């Protein structure tokens, strides 16, 4: 199973993780087009900041994910092999229960799709998720557990 861990001591609060996350979840996957030409997708990672303390937070892909058990339509599921929690937009009905139960506030309403939530999906098209790959200070690391 893989997990993304933030290293608060090296997070510089630049928010490049958020920016690249947005581009990666856009239809063009291009920074300039995603921000200026398309409807901008929601970010799946957010930098929490207070003073000089900051870290990037995305879905923790919990062992016993409250969002999965709370999902009333079976859209939210946890992959047995990888442990990655994903949302199936075809099944999602936008009841927002997952948003309510997520203890990390890591599930959001999608800014692009109607009545669908957006959350970290570990960038299935990439070998290394966009936020990890583009952090300039290695404050996000991917680890096999």
Binding site for other proteins (CB under 8 A): 7, 9-16, 19-20, 31-32, 35-36, 51-52, 134, 136-139
Instruction: Give me the least distance between CB of 70 and other proteins, in Å please.
Output: 33
Instruction: Give me the least distance between CB of 7 and other proteins, in Å please.
Output: 8
Instruction: Give me the least distance between CB of 78 and other proteins, in Å please.
Output: 31
User: How far from 138 is each of 12, 56, 57, 98, CA to CA, in Å?
Assistant: 10, 11, 14, 30
Cβ atoms of 66 and 87 within 8 Å: the answer is no
Give 8 or 88: the residue with its C-beta nearer to other proteins: 8
Give 12 or 111: the residue with its C-beta nearer to other proteins: 12
The count of other CB atoms within 10 Å of the CB of residue 32 is: 9
Instruction: Give me the least distance between CB of 58 and other proteins, in Å please.
Output: 18
Q: How far apart are CA 77 and CA 62, in angstroms?
A: 11
If we measure between CA atoms, which residue out of 105, 103, 107 comes closest to residue 85? 107
């Amino acid at each position: 199973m893989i997990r993304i861990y933030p290293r608060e001591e090296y997070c510089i609060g630049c928010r490049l993780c958020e920016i690249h996350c947005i581009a990666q979840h856009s239809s063009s996957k291009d920074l300039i087009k995603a921000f200026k030409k398309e409807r901008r997708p929601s970010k799946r990672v957010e930098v929490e900041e207070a003073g000089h303390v900051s870290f990037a937070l995305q879905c923790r892909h919990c062992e016993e994910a409250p969002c999965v058990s709370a999902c009333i339509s079976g859209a939210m599921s946890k992959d047995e092999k990888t442990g990655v929690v994903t949302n199936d937009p075809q099944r999602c009905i936008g009841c927002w229960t997952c948003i309510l139960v997520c203890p990390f506030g890591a599930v959001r309403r999608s800014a692009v799709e109607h009545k669908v939530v957006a959350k970290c999906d570990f960038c299935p098209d990439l070998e290394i998720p966009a936020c990890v790959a583009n952090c300039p200070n290695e404050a996000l690391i991917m680890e096999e557990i």
